[in-house]
Every structure is written in structure tokens, then in C-alpha cells.
Amino acid sequence: MNYNTTVLLIIIPILSSFLVYMPVGLIKKSFKIIFLATILFNLLFSLKIFSVVLKYGNLITIIGNYHPPFGINLVSSFFSILFLIALYIVFLISAIIFIFKNDTKNNQQKISSVLLLYLASFSEIILTGDLFNLFVFFEIFSISNIIIISLKNEKFSLKGSIKYLLISSIGSALLLFAIGYIYAILGTLNLAEIALNFEKISFFSKCFIIFFLMGSILSELEVFPFNLWISDSYAGAKNFVNILLSGISCVVSLYIFIRMFFTIFNYPSISLYSYNFPLDIKLLLLTFFSLSIIVNQLVALTSKNIKRILAFSSAATISTILFALTSGTKSGFSSAILLIISTIISKPLLFLSSHQITKGKMEKNLDSFKNGINRKRYFSILFIVSAIFFTGFPLTPAFFGKLMLFYTYASKLNYYTYFIIVIIFSITVEFFYYFRMIHKLFIKDETERENKNIKNNLSISYFVSGLTMISILIIFFIFPNIYEKVITKMSEEIFNQKEYIQTILKLGEK
Amino acid sequence: MELYSTKKLKDEGFEQILNFFRKKSLWMLHYCTGCGAVELPPTMTSRWDMERFGMGPMATPRQADLLLITGYLSLKSLKRVIYTYEQMQNPKWVIALGSCPINGGIYYDSYSVINRLALYIPVDLSIEGCMPRPEAIIEGFIKLMKQIENGEAVGYKKYQENYKWYKQNQDSVLKREFPVLSGEEK
Amino acid sequence: MMNNYIVRFLIGSLTSIILGLLYMGIGRKFIARIRRCYAGPFYQSFIDVIKLFSKHSISHHWIMDFGIMMGFSGIIATVIFLPIGNFYVFPDMKGNLIIIMYFMTIGYLGMAMGVSASGNPNSPIGIGRALALMIGYEIPFALAVILLIFANGSSLLYNIIQTQQGSIYNWNLLKYPFAFIGTIIALQGMLGEQPFDAMIAPAEIASGPMVELSGKFLGFGFLQHASQIFLETGIITAMFLGGGTIIGFFTKQLFLYLLTLSIASVFPRFRFEDGVKFFWTIPTSFVLFQLILFLIKR
Amino acid sequence: MIDNRILYIFSTILFLIGIFGAITNKNLIKILVSISVVETASNIFLVSIGYIKNSKPPILDANMGKISVSNLNISDPLPHALVLTAIVIGVGTTAVGIGLCIRLFQYYRTLNINRMGDKDEL
Amino acid sequence: MIIGLLFYGIILSFLALFVRKKYNFLRWIIFSFYIFLTLFLTITIGKDSTYFETFNLISILNFDLSLNFRITPLGWLFTLFTTLLLFLTSIFSIVKNKNEDAERLINFFWFILIISNTGLFLADDLFTLFIFWELIGISSYFVISPGWVSSFRAVNYYFIFSIICSFFMFSGIMILYEGTGTFSIQKNVLYFISLFENSPLNAIFVAISLIIGFFVKSALFPFHIWPAQAHAKAPDDFSSVLSGIIIKYGLYRTILFFIPLFLFIKEYPVNHIMVNNIPLFSHILAWSGAITSIIATFLAIESNDMKKLAAYSTVANMGYITTALFSLSSFGIAGAIFHTINHAIFKTAIFLSIAAVKYRTHETQMHKLGGMAYKMPVTFLTFLLAIISAAGIPPLNGYVSKWMIYQGLLSSKFPFLTLAIFLSSTGAFMYLFRALHSIFLGQLPEKFDNVKEVPFLMQIPMYILMFLMVSIGIFPQFVINLINSVLTSYNISNINIKNSMIFSPLSGIDSVKVFLAFTGSFILAFILYLIGKPRKHVQPLDTYTAGQDPADFNLTRELYHFAYKFYGPFEHMFDSFRTDTKEFYDSIERKINEIGGYFRDFQSGSIRGTIYTFMLSFVLIIIYWWLL
């Protein structure tokens, strides 16, 4: 069904990001209101679109009256809109933290414009139906990522942002090569049309496209050989940036991966027949992702800095999600979604509470967690609850994710079942270092004589955002069948590629 | 020196019968001080065979009936002898070998040797001779056995009766402030 | 039925004590003869026991009295289950081997507890050595027991004896000679005779556990040792020499005891860990060899 | 189409040169320059896609006359548009890169990567 | 009604959390009241196995996850004796935790442990079993490192082992679930048996995944180090629960799962390798039990800390139980279950008396203690009876189960297994006496002169335990009837018993007559004791010291206590082949840290590294694709 107004989701943030940046007196005072207004608008509008999607199914917005196969058009399906809403909520929370933190007044204006740009780029990525459009906004997304990371302007953040810049620019070059190649062969850039006749192209070009596309996305997906930028950027970035990074940028790249693999390459039944034997893409991906799970978990186990531990544990979870996706079955997909949900919920909270607990301390390593329960009781409880949610205590979404994961690999995947041992290893290591952190909270710190007098200035913004996140967690714990309907609907939509193509192209011809 | 006549302390009645068994199995703890110790191995082994009379060497005072002092006693070893004597159980007897325990023997004028053992612990039988030969020792044993049988070997009762006197003599020699003895009379 | 058991009980326990003391007396004369001297009369042990009970004694704590009594009663309770000739105290439980093996440990535990409550350091050292030795000689003995149980399909001494009735040829001694040799060496350790008497070494640790036992406690020690001799020799006669009628049973026991004494009077004393090493190597290999032969034949 | 194959080979060579430059250089600015070389390589590849043998450049001017499908002999305009945006993005990334280089120089007083990456305790 | 009990427990646990520090005994009273309630309910429900109860949590993505409970005779028996012992320990801990510093958290997690304990034993399907298994793992971890104050290293082995085993079990369950479609145990066991035929590879994977849990939880050979480590740090009263009950969960689950399997194979040995008519796999397990008991015995002989000694003796007893269990004879299995119960009883007695000693003297090293019997007679008596029954000496309960184990092993013709068990049980007598001597007898050090007996509330559990040991020892028929009901539920032939006379294929014992024999001979000894002349009490230091008066050389009573290297020369015998498994696990941990460190430094490398690795890995993927 044709629904043109979704484009507002992207236009409004870009407009307000320029607006906010202008040094005019009026705006200098009221830029905060504009900033929050655009975020709230986006959230509410996407909820409205969601209600429409529920009624009519996939919505297509045609820009400039160029019907789908030709112009740039946005596709808002059930799967993408829900992702968008979740990301908007996380973005809202981090924005609240950013706005009400009362330091460095001056460049807050500049940062809010970058954040709005960030908002526009990731909403476009999720909604777009055109490959080049995806590339453009993917680039804007990574540029704004780089800027956010480098905000703190000290050693780690600068090094992290430079590393990220180098990798993402090479990635974009590879992506350009891939897009060029696709355009050269298929003559079109519309995702639906590519998906339609992706089967026909030769084996070599298929491999070329897959590898070059993966080359660019994997660096975002924090898979082992490509995630060299995590350790410095997460350690250096500001607190609300960490929430953004862990909550949104990973999930967006996951979305791209799912969209690419499942709808365009039609992953489970992809047929890669070279001259004499089929390329077992599943085995390739499985070995690749399990290697990255093991390495990420090991680095998380052995690193001392709290932020780095959480960063690498989120990287490991993402590789586990990819591990689940490569199984290609419905239950694998639903376990991936469950794990994504648990990451979106609990990861930002982990970063927030760990930042608060180690607020007074110079170096933010494990020992700064000592005696946390007495110093910052509220945030330590937050940390414990979110850690338990993240590691998958029974009846939490992560637990059901793992349940499904075990189920997928237990079923008839002949010798793939033995990859389960990688998962067991990663779960054990994860339990170990999370419970080590929880354990440290309770150890009495001898060196804490002097700063008895630090005022426990509980900033309201942190308190409120912590409260909201905790309430979301509790809701998801008590009513687990919220996400049951969501998952079944999502997996249906993702797994039938034809229905996606029909809605876009058919509408186009009419 | 006989403080009390042995007749008063003589064993009567049931003890009389037990004495027969005590006589037949005398277990000996020989406190080898001085030159007499070398006489004992021949008495114990096959040449003079002490075992015929049911006598055998015992390792600890708790198990022994008979304390054999085999030579002169210096002050230091006197303290040990008294301590060991106290640890032995009634009925117990003491045999002193050689002349030194009787009157100090050839060391009568030495600063450290005690001249008369009987002052400190009740000696039932003394076997003279500047180290009596095994025959004399066996002879002494038989004499002691006869004494036990008709209930006269009552040194241990004498020790109990006038313990203060003995204690006084011991303190005069050993001059130790804190008491040597175990908590018996406390 | 009740008094019948009491009478049987008394018969069983008193025979063991009296005969045990008798064997000790004869044994002392036997050793004296080896040393070319004439030890006291054969009833010398009776005199010693009566003398000991007539002496006063000391005890450090009521646990010491309780322990010594428990030790003695443990051995007596084990003898109850031993088939004396063809007389059984409990007719329906005819000498269960496993019960006997475990009841012996009560004797050791009681004596050990009483003696270690005496406070003298020599006694726990002795007990430590005794227990370490116990783990040594239990292995060959257990192997022999397992062998016999496998052979006769029942762990009742009654059945073992039944299979050995008839002529001398079907004694277990001849059927399983190696097992017999291993068990005889184990018997040496069980009785605590010379090569393995590191636990009551008078020279080193002043007669080990019996350091503080005076008067009647030493008497209990004596009686316990006596009934222990009766018990262990009785088990081995039942197992290997086919315990015959009353008289035959006692003569076989005496023969076994004198055999151990003859070994004892010739050998110097083992250090107890060398003793354990010895037990785990030579007698065990004998019995093991016999067991393997048996398993192959079956 | 034959000669645009030469362009493909040329863009891959350019790509490899750019990568080689990025890897071996010590100075950060040089690395950024080689990164932009990589960007241009991909742009060239993109442009060469639209080449049609002896076709006119797709510029609408007076003498083109009415366009009709039959006599349309112009090269494919779409890649050209794409390249435009790609170049702009390349500029954007390099600009941010230069900004970061300044910031790093202020911090480290040098632009030589080796001296920058001291093995700090993680 | 079970679910009502569990929820009520959760509410109470939170209630107990908020009781203020001042009246913390109130918190522990709530705690013991709840256990009494569970005990009362288990007894009243009785063992009719028709009682079924379900509580569905969620049905999500074609999984209907529900906690359902059923009273099986085995489950009921285990719940009965574990809750009874937990109740006794809770009475003990009311007094003990009066001034413990982190007792609020200990209480909370101990509460969760008890809830999951009943849940685990009454669980009917594998999912509930797993949920409570996980809860137990987590809560017992949090209680062992007491209130999380002491160092984390103490329990990390236990923690890692239990997580590995719980998730291996999870994957095993999933494979079975995928096969059968339900979590119920009966169906899965049947499917598991059929799995051996059609896909042996999967079956072996599932078997290993379930067996690892058993190996870890009951501390068998490769994993036998965690009890000693955990006990040294655990709060004293909890260590009695830890070694009395928590170590039995692995066993319970194996009886549930593997015994039907092996018995089935025993009847129809179609294409399995059979070693003297039991499956090879159960033979290996039996041998692993034997090896563990021998190793643990020799480790216990060496250990100088009394709690470590008791921990190693628990591991040794678990070794007996596994050997007996996997000899698959009716007497073996019955003996194993009976020994589990007896072991729980006398081990709790040992640990409670050790806790009482520690409560008074705050000292666990055995050579620093001594002579406690003269000051704490009740604790001494409990310890003595516990030792007698632990060493398997006749009148008490340890003997009956050991005798049954021997009958089982001998009747199914295992000569060398019996020898191994016999060696470790004689070894058990060695280290148990050492503990008795060095803690309770010998000389009382001066500094413990004013040690008093533990308060009366702590003595109650000791009296009850003593009564239990003696009564089960003399009249074992009550417990054996319960075990018979368990055996019938697994259609194994029952043990025929005629009021305390147990008949086995090899021989029969009548424990009443055994007791009579012992008392008779004790009376005889007492009469002899009265004949002799009355004895005289003497001071402890008045001993034969070769004439040397201790006061002269200011030798204190402490120096006279010989306990430090009790079996020193005996230990030197094993110096040549002494391997320390703890050293092995430490080296693994160091290796992992090293690899992690390497990757971590790799991450923090210079900026150049990034592009280099990017391109390198990109090329590598292509090569890898090319090779594939």
C-alpha cells in the first residue's frame, strides 16, 4: 500500500540537525527543545506507521513519483518498523542523559546536531528499499559514529575513532565496488529487484557480491578480525555514547545483515554451485562466527577495564546472534531475535550502571567495582539485575534465546550439532566474568578511607533513565509472551522473500 | 630406722592369696644407674634365666611392680628415681643392688651422690656386694618373693604412712621450691 | 531361647580367653626353648593376668576406661561369630566372614581411643603405626577372603568348612597353597609379632599404646591380645585348615600360633612403612597369583 | 565494452595502490591520502560501469533534439549521479579524518603512527 | 500443593531478608520453620506415586514450558532424608549465625537452595530438573563464598564445573527433546535407549553430556578437587549441607536416568560390549568410582585441615556409592542408595561436630586442637559414633550399607573392585581415627582451657543424629522397606528381609543379634572392670616421660599433643607418583589467560594494525572460501 509520509521520519531529523546547529540567538537558547521534539516526533510517528502497517501490511513510500524499480523508495515492513521503534526508545533514553548532563555547555549544540544526523541515518538505513541509498546513509551513519566516539577528546577516544574511520572508509570502498558490480550485472539498484533475479547470476559474481558486501558490514558487526576498533572506542567514548554504540549501531548492522542475507540472497536456500561442488556457505560462516565468539569471550575474560569487558561481551553476543542466524531455520532466527531483544534491553543499562558505579574512580578497572553495593546501592542493583538478564537466567528472554539456540543445533543439522560446544564454552566464560563483576561489588575496599565525603549526587537523568530501562526489563520478564507473537510474525515475514518482492514490484507496475 | 614395725602393716586375708600370684609374676623396671646394669642381662637371658620365676623386664613404671636400683644415685638421678617410683602402682617393691645405695659405697664422700637411698624411698631389699653377681641377684629375688608371700614386703605401705617424713628428706636434698611430686598428696 | 544364647555366649567368650592365655603360656615356653632357657610354667599368663587385676591402676579420663573396655569387648564380640570347632554361638549366623573382619576394627578403635585419651605422645605414635600396618596386612587377607568367597559362593565360614571336610586332601591349604602362604604372612602382621611389631616396640616408643596402661587396664590388654590370638588363628584354621572337631580345631590353632612365633623369634623389626611396602608386594602377589589362577580355571 | 575492461583493471590496480599506501605509510596524513585514493578507485570503477561503446555523454543541450528511445545513444547517466554522491561522501570522510589528525597531533605532538600506539595497559 | 510450598518458600525468603540485624535469630527461625513445614508435608503426602502436579510457566514458540512434579518413591525418599538433615542443620545454624557478618545473604540463598532441593527431587520432567539444577548451582555458589566477602578464587572451580555440567545437560536435554517432543523423563529414557540403536554418535554425545554432570557434582576422579576447596571456605554449618546433600544431586539424576538404561541393556545385550554381563560403560563408571575412593582416601590421610579431611572422606564415600551403583546387582543398587542415606547422616554428624569445635575454638588446623573431648563431651560422642558408622563398624548404620555393597559386588563377581573398596574403607578408618585423636583426644592445649560445651540448641541435632545412627544400625528394616519400594519402581528384585534379618545370596546378618553380641561382650568387660581394684584419676601431664618432669623443661600440654604429621612416613611412600590435579587446573587457567592476553594486546595495537588486519582477514576469507 502506498504511504508517502514515512519519508518524514528522515527529513525532519536532518532539517532539525541543521536548524540546531545555527548560532542564532533564539536557537542557541532553545536548541534542547527542538532536539527532544524531533526525537519524540520520530517515536510517535513511527508508532502511527506501525499501526498502519499492522492494518495494511508492508508500506511503500514513493519519492518523486518514481515507482519502485527505478527511484529511491522506502519500505516499512512489520520487521523494520518494530526495530525502528526499539532503537528510537534507546536513542530517547541516551538523549535524555546527554541533554540533562550539565557540563560543557557550549558544544552540546554541535553534538545534538550530530546526534540528529545519526538518528536520520539509522532510520533511513532501516527503511530504505534501495541499495545505493543504503550505502549513502550507511556512510553518514559511520561518520556520525566516528564523531560521537571522538567527543571525549582524550587518548583512547581519538585512537578509537581514527581506527574506526580507516576501517569504515575501506569498507565503504568495498561496498561501492559491490554496488557497482550489482548495477553492472542486474542493471538495477532496487533491493526487491535484485532479490528477484539474484538466482540467475553466475557463481563467481555471487561470491564477489557476498564477500564484498560482507567485508563492509562485518567491521560494523564487531566480528573478530574486523573489530580492532572496539577496544579503544568503547573505552574512550562518553557514557551516553556507549549506550548508543552498544544499543543501536550493533543492532543496525545486524538489521542490514539480516536484510541482505535473508531477503536479498534468500539465505537458507542459497545455491552456490561452482563448477564441481557446492560451496558450503553455512559451514564457512559457522566456523568464522564461532572463532569470533571464542576470541571475543576470551578477550572480555582477560581485560581489566569495565567498559572494555562489556564491549567485548556485547561483541560476543552479536557473534552468537550471527551464529544463530547462520543455522537458517525458523527457530534459529527466533533465537537470534530473542538475543537481540535481550541485548537492546540490558546492554545499555549495563553500561549506564557500570559508569555510575565507577564514577568516582580514576581508572575504571575491576577493582573500582569494589564495595559498590554500599557506595552506589541503586546502581549496583541495576547492574546485578541487568547482568542476570543479559547472561540468561531462567525465564529471561536471553534464556529462551539460548533454549531456542540449543534446540536449533540439536535438531537434524547432522554434524553441525557439535558446534554447540562453542556455545557452552562462551556461556561458561560469560557467566564467569559477569559473576566475578557481581562478586567484586560486595568485596570491602580497604583503600577507600579518604573519599568518605563524596556527595552521592544522584543525577536525576541517570536515575530516571535507569528506572525506565529496569521497568522495561521487568515487563519483559513478567509477560514473556509479548515477544512471542512478534517473533512468529517476524520470522514469517523474513522467510518468504516472494511476499516482500510482490508488495514492492507489483505495486510499482500498477 | 624402722619407723613402724612391719607386723602392723602386714597384709592379711584376701591379700595373702593375691600375694601368691604377685610373687609368681614380678615385673621388673630396672633403673640402670651406676655399675649394676651390666649384671642384669645375664640374669635375664638363658645363663641364669630370670624368666623361670615369671619375672620380665618392663618398659614403663606403670606396668612394673619391682623397681631395681642398680648402683649409686646422684642427686639428679634421685629426682628421676623418685618421679618414676611415684608413677608405679601399688603394690610395688624396691630392690637396691650394690653397696652404694646402702651407705654411698666408694662415693660416700662425693658432693653429688646420696649416701642412703632408704631415706628417700622405702627399700625392701638390698643386695650387698660391689655389684653382686647374678647368683646373688637371683638369691635376692627369691628372698623378696618369700617376703612378698608372707606379706612382709610392705615398703609401699610405709611410704604411704609416713609420706611427710620421706618428703622432708627428699626436699632437704633436692631443695627445689616447687614440689617435685605429682598431685598425690595435694 | 534367651538363656540359651547367654550360655552359648559365655561358652564362646570364656573359651577364647582361657585358650588364648593357654596359647600365650605355651608360646612363651616355646620361644624360651628356642632361646635355650626355661620360661615359667605354661599357666604363667594366668598368673600375670590375676596379678594385674590385683594391682591398683591409674586413668587419665573416663574415656580411657571406656575405650579400653570397648577394645576388649570388640574382640570378644568378634569371637562370638567365630565357629569354634563345630560350635556356633548364633546358630543362624554361622560365622559371617565380613562381620568378623569389620568387628576386629572395633577392638582396634576401642583400644586406640582409650590409649590416645591417656595423653602420652608415645601411644598415638604407636597407634598410627598399628593402623598403617593394618592397611598393609588387610590387603592380602582381604584378597584371600575374596578368593574363598568366590570359591565357595558363600561368605559363611560354615560353608567354607563344609567344603573342606573329608580327607586332608581337600583342605583349602592344599587347594590354594599360595593363598595360604600369603595369609600366614598377613597373620604375622595381624598378631603384631616380631617382624611387624613396630607398634609395641618396647625400645623405641616404650611399648607404644600400652605406655599408660597400669594394673587392670594392662590386664584388659593382655586378655585382648589373648583372645585376638585365638580369633585370628581360629579364622585361618576355619579358612584353610578345615576346622575340625573341638580338639582338632585347638591343635591347629596352636600349631599356627607356634608357626608365627617361630618366625617372630628369628626376625628383627621392620620399620612400619617398609612393613606396609612388604605386605603390599610379597604376600599380596602370592594371593593375587592364586586368585588369577582361580579366575582362569573357573 | 572492451576498453572499459581496461578501466576495471585500472581501478583494481588503483585500489591495491591505495591499500598498499595505507598499510606502509607511517604518517597519518599520508594514510588519509591513500584512503582517498581507494575512494577514487571505487568511483572510477562505478563510472566505468555506465560506459556504452561510442555513445555520447548524457548532457541535455539544445542540439540534442527530442529524445526518443530509438535514437538514444548516450552513456548510462545513473552511475554518474551515483559517483557524484560517492565523491561527496569521500570528501566527508576525509574531512573528518583530517579533523581527527589535528586533534591527535595536538595530543601526541606527532603524526607518526608507530610513536602513537604505545602499548598501554588495557 | 508442592508449588504452593515452593511459592510460600520464596515469599518467606524475601521476608527473612528484611529482618533487621539485631534479631537475626528470628530470620533463622523462619528458615528452620519452613524446612520443618516441607518435612511435615513430605511425610504426610506419603509415597503414592499418583500425585501429579503441574504449573505451566509459558508456552512460547511451540515450547510449552511447565514445572510439573510427581512423587516417585526414589524422589520421595531423597526428599525425606535431605529435608530431615537440612532441618537439623538449620537448628544448629540458628545459634551459630548469631554474630556471623554476612549471614543475611547466606540465609537468603540457603532458602533458595532448599526450595530448589525439594523441587529437584520431585521434578517429573527434564526441564523442571534443569531449572532447579541451575538454581542450586547458583545459590550454592553464593553461599559457599560466605556472603561474598572472602576471595572469589576459593569457589571458582566449583562454579565453572557446575556451569559446564549444567549446560552440557541442557544440550543433552535439547537433543532428547528434539527426538521425543516432550520433556517427560520416562519417554526420554526410552527414546535414549532406542537412540543407541539408530544414531550411536548422537547417543554417545547425549550420554557424555549427562554423565559429565554426574562426574562433576559427585566429585569423581577428574573433578575431585572442588569439595576440599569449597569446604575450606564455606560457612561451617553449610559445609555439612554441602557434603551431605548437594553432592548427592548428580547421583540422584544418574539413578533416574542411567540405571534404567543399563538395566535394559543388561537384559537385552543386543550389540553392546558386555563385560561379565554388565555393559562396558557402567563398568568404566564403577572403576572410576573405585579409583576416586582410593585417591580421595590417600588425600584425606594427608590433609591437616579437619574440614578438608571430611571433604575428601565425602569424595571417597561417593566413590563407594558409584561403584556399588554401577555393579548393577540388586544388592549393589540397594546398598548404594542405603549408603547415600547413611553417608548423609553420619557426614552431617561429623560436620556438625567439626562446626561446634570451630564455633568454640575458631581453629581448623588439627594439630593446633586437641583434647576437646574433655571439655565438649556431647560433641565428642557424636563424632565418635559418626566415626564408628563412617568406618562401617557393625553396631551402627554405616556397617549395614557397607555390608550390602560388599554382598552386591561379590555376588556379581567383581574381585578387584571389592578389593579397591576394602582398601579405601580400611584407609577411611585410618584418617577417621586421626581426626578423632587430634581433635578430641590427646592433650588439651592451655589456650582452650576455658572452652565450654556448645549451647543446648546446637546439641539437639547432635542427639537426634546419634539416635538415628544407632536406630538405623540396629533396625535397618524400616529403611530397607523404603528402598524396596524404590527397587520395585525400577523392577529390580527386592531384598528379602524378615524383621531385621537380611538375607543375601552369600550370607545373612541379623543386626539385632550383632548388637546383642556387642552389648553382651561389653557387659562382660564391665564386670571384669569392676573385679579389678578401683582406678585413680591422674592429671593429664602426669604421664611416663622417662622420669623427666615436664615442669622442669616448661613443656606445655600443647607440645605433648602428637598430631602434626600423624602418618608422615606412610605419606612418604607415595612421594614418587604424587600428581596434584589442582596444579593441572591452575595451568589450564593460566593458559587461557595467556591466550586472552595475546588477543587483548593484539586489539590495542597501533593504528596501522587495523587496516593491515582488515585486508589480511579479507584475503584470508577468500582463500578459505577457495579451499573449501
Tens of pLDDT, residues A158-168: 888 888 888 88
Beta carbons of E599 and A226 less than 8 Å apart: no
Tens of pLDDT, residues B42-81: 888 888 888 888 888 888 888 888 998 888 888 888 888 8
Say if D and A touch: at least 3 Cβ pairs within 8 Å. yes
Residue E290 clears pLDDT 70, i.e. is over it: yes
Residue A272 clears pLDDT 70, i.e. is over it: no
Beta carbons of E548 and B87 less than 8 Å apart: no
E607 interfacial to chain D (CB closer than 8 Å): yes
E181 interfacial to chain A (CB closer than 8 Å): no
Tell me the CA end-to-end span of chain A in Å, nearest whole number: 11
Q: What pLDDT does residue A414 have?
A: 61
C50 interfacial to chain B (CB closer than 8 Å): yes
Q: Which of residues 50-109 of D touch E (CB under 8 A)?
A: none
Q: Domain residues of chain D, as ranges?
A: 2-54+76-116
- Indicate the helix (H) or strand (E) that contains B125: strand B125-127
Tens of pLDDT, residues D81-105: 888 888 998 999 999 999 988 888 8
Partners of chain B (3+ Cβ pairs below 8 A):
C, E
| Vertex E248: Cα angle to E247 and E249 (nearest 5) | 95
Task: Report, as an integer, the average pLDDT of B130-140.
Answer: 88
Given the C-alpha cell 543525577, which residue does it identify?
A: A459
How far away is chain E from the Cα of C237, in angstroms, using its nearest Cα? Answer: 20
Contact E229, E154 (CB under 8 A): yes
How far apart are alpha carbons E126 and A410 in whole angstroms? 16
Q: Which of residues 17-56 of D touch A (CB under 8 A)?
A: 18-19, 22, 28, 31, 35, 38-39, 41-43, 45-46, 49
Q: Domain residues of chain C, as ranges?
A: 2-297
Domain D2-54+76-116 of CATH type 1.10.3720.10? no
The pLDDT mean for chain E works out to: 84
Assign B1 a pLDDT band (cuts: 50, 70, 90).
very low
- How far CA A76 is from CA of A4, A51, A249, B179, C63, in Å, comes to 11, 12, 19, 105, 88
Closest by CA position to E484, among listed E322, E266, E338: E338
Beta carbons of C155 and E532 less than 8 Å apart: no
SS3 E185: helix
Residue B185 clears pLDDT 60, i.e. is over it: no
Say if E and A touch: at least 3 Cβ pairs within 8 Å. yes
Q: Which of residues 8-67 of C touch E (CB under 8 A)?
A: 9, 13, 52-61, 63, 65
List of chain C residues whose C-beta atoms are within 8 Å of the C-beta of residue E441: 63, 113, 116-117
C125 interfacial to chain B (CB closer than 8 Å): no
Q: Identify any residues that bridge with C168 across adjacent strands, giving them in sequence order.
A: none
A147 interfacial to chain D (CB closer than 8 Å): yes
Q: Which of residues 133-192 of E touch D (CB under 8 A)?
A: none
List of chain E residues whose C-beta atoms are within 8 Å of the C-beta of residue D116: 606-607
Q: What pLDDT does residue E313 have?
A: 92
- How far CA B16 is from CA of B88, B95, D105, E120, in Å, comes to 21, 21, 116, 75
Please give the residue that has the higher pLDDT: either A201 or C274: C274
Beta carbons of B81 and E547 less than 8 Å apart: yes
Tens of pLDDT, residues E318-343: 998 999 988 888 888 999 999 999 99
Task: Report, as an integer, the average pLDDT of B130-139.
Answer: 88
How far apart are alpha carbons E20 and A294 in whole angstroms? 45
How far away is chain E from the Cα of D62, in angstroms, using its nearest Cα? Answer: 49
Tens of pLDDT, residues E576-605: 777 777 788 888 888 888 888 777 777 766
Q: Starting at the edge strand that comes first in sequence, how are the strands of the sheet with B66-69 ordered?
A: B56-57, B27-31, B66-69, B93-97, B125-127
Which of C73, C116, C155 minimises the CB distance to E437? Answer: C116
D41 interfacial to chain E (CB closer than 8 Å): no
List of chain C residues whose C-beta atoms are within 8 Å of the C-beta of residue E566: 124, 128
Residue E467 clears pLDDT 90, i.e. is over it: yes
Sites in chain C below the pLDDT cut of 70: 1-2
Please give the residue that has the higher pLDDT: either A215 or E603: A215
Q: What does the block give as the cell for E166?
A: 549444567
Q: For the domain covering B11-173, report its CATH number.
A: 3.40.50.12280
Q: Domain residues of chain E, as ranges?
A: 1-272, 291-578, 588-627
C215 interfacial to chain B (CB closer than 8 Å): yes
Tens of pLDDT, residues E72-130: 888 888 888 899 999 998 888 888 877 777 777 788 888 888 888 888 888 888 888 88
E599 interfacial to chain D (CB closer than 8 Å): no
Q: What pLDDT does residue A105 have?
A: 58
Beta carbons of C48 and B54 less than 8 Å apart: yes
Residues, chain D: 122
How far away is chain C from the Cα of E458, in angstroms, using its nearest Cα? Answer: 23
Q: What pLDDT does residue B129 have?
A: 84
Q: What is the interface pTM, i.e. ipTM, of the complex?
A: 0.83
Beta carbons of E426 and C6 less than 8 Å apart: no
Q: Is A54 exposed, middle or buried (0-12, 13-18, 19+ CB in 10 A)?
A: exposed
A305 interfacial to chain D (CB closer than 8 Å): yes
Contact E586, E580 (CB under 8 A): no
Closest by CA position to E396, among listed E408, E406, E407, E384: E384
Please give the residue that has the higher pLDDT: either E43 or E47: E43
Beta carbons of A225 and E596 less than 8 Å apart: no
The pLDDT mean for chain C works out to: 87
Taking the CA atoms of residue E601, residue E602, residue E605 and residue E609 in that order, the dihedral angle to the nearest 10 degrees is: 170
- How far CA D30 is from CA of A142, A171, E584, in Å, comes to 22, 19, 51
Say if B and C touch: at least 3 Cβ pairs within 8 Å. yes
Beta carbons of B59 and C213 less than 8 Å apart: no
Assign A69 a pLDDT band (cuts: 50, 70, 90).
confident
Task: Report, as an integer, the average pLDDT of A122-148.
Answer: 88
For B120, which DSSP code?
T
List of chain E residues whose C-beta atoms are within 8 Å of the C-beta of residue B183: 538-539, 542
How far away is chain B from the Cα of C143, in angstroms, using its nearest Cα? Answer: 37
Q: What pLDDT does residue C26 have?
A: 92
How far away is chain C from the Cα of E276, in angstroms, using its nearest Cα? Answer: 12
Task: Report, as an integer, the average pLDDT of D73-84.
Answer: 82
Which of D23, D28, D117 minimises the CB distance to E605? Answer: D117
Tens of pLDDT, residues E372-425: 888 889 999 999 999 999 998 888 888 888 988 988 888 888 888 899 999 998
Q: Is E301 left (phi over 0), alpha (psi -120 to 50) or beta?
A: alpha
List of chain D residues whose C-beta atoms are within 8 Å of the C-beta of residue E605: 117
Which of E57, E174, E604 minimises the CB distance to A406? Answer: E174
Q: What pLDDT does residue E608 have?
A: 66
- How far CA A37 is from CA of A25, A89, A96, C241, E347, in Å, comes to 19, 14, 12, 106, 68
Q: What pLDDT does residue C258 have?
A: 92
Candidates C29, C125, C211, C214: best to mutate against B (most CBs of B within 10 A) is C214
Q: Among A309-323, A359-373, E583-597, which range has the highest average pLDDT? A: A309-323
List of chain C residues whose C-beta atoms are within 8 Å of the C-beta of residue B49: 32, 37-39
Which of A225, A442, A481 minimises the CB distance to E617? Answer: A225
List of chain A residues whose C-beta atoms are within 8 Å of the C-beta of residue E163: 427-428, 431-432
SS3 E578: coil
Q: If you measure CA to CA, which chain E residue comes closest to C134?
A: E426
Partners of chain A (3+ Cβ pairs below 8 A):
D, E
Candidates A393, A435, A476: best to mutate against E (most CBs of E within 10 A) is A435
Beta carbons of E61 and A395 less than 8 Å apart: no
- How far CA A431 is from CA of A436, A469, B119, E137, E160, in Å, comes to 8, 22, 83, 12, 9
Which of E604, E609, E615 minimises the CB distance to D19? Answer: E615
Secondary structure (DSSP) of A294-305: HHHHHHHHH--B
Assign B186 a pLDDT band (cuts: 50, 70, 90).
very low
How many CB atoms neighbour CB E488 within 10 A?
12
